[in-house]
């Protein structure tokens, strides 16, 4: 209540609505931004979506950008709610193309909710199959054996 010098009084009721701001963060569960796997084989990468803000994150969507022919999917693809100070676990399922050659590839994984978003750049190392190496060694040994056989049979007598 407020009183004036002439004795008049007045009052007004005030209400305040406190609103917070969410803050979306995305990382891998082990904090590493690299992983590896074989061509045409699925690799599961655990991700952590966290909210370090003061309001809830609603409908967090996950998406990924990878080289041509690769597949990225998420379990779950959408997180309904992440409360302030909480985290949610998501699994990224990465499948390199069957034609991927051994080497390093870059991809981006993005989480977004409303005006909030967070990206991570992930390096994926495609490893070559050991079968190819074993076959190559066998071919070399057979070729050397054939050459030795030719020299022994047709060499000087």
- Strands in the chain per DSSP E: 2-3, 9-10, 24-28, 34-38, 43-51, 57-65, 71-75, 78-82, 87-95, 103-113, 116-127
* pLDDT class of 102 with cuts at 50, 70, 90: confident
d(CA 47, CA 74): 10
* Average pLDDT of every residue of the chain: 89
CA–chain centroid gap for 67, Å, is: 14
Domains of the chain: 24-141 (2.60.40.10)
Q: What integer pLDDT is reported at residue 14 of this predicted model? A: 83
Whether this model's pTM surpasses 0.85: no
Q: pLDDT tens digits for 119-133?
A: 999 999 998 767 777
Q: What is the reported pLDDT for 157?
A: 59
Residue 37's nearest CA partner among 97, 119, 121 is: 97
């Amino acid at each position: 209540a407020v009183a004036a010098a002439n004795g008049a009084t007045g009052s007004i009721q005030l209400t305040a609505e406190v609103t917070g701001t969410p803050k979306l963060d995305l990382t891998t569960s082990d904090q590493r931004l690299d992983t590896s796997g074989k061509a045409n084989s699925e690799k599961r990468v655990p991700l952590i979506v966290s909210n370090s803000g003061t309001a809830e994150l609603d409908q967090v969507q996950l998406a990924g950008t990878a080289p041509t022919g690769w597949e990225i999917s998420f379990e779950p693809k959408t997180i309904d709610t992440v409360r302030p100070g909480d985290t949610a676990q998501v699994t990224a399922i990465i499948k390199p193309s069957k034609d991927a050659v051994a080497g390093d590839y870059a991809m981006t994984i993005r989480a977004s909710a409303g005006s909030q978003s967070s990206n991570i750049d992930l390096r994926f190392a495609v490893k070559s199959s050991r079968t190819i190496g074993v076959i190559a060694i066998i071919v070399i040994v057979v070729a050397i054996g054939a050459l030795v056989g030719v020299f022994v049979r047709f060499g000087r007598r």
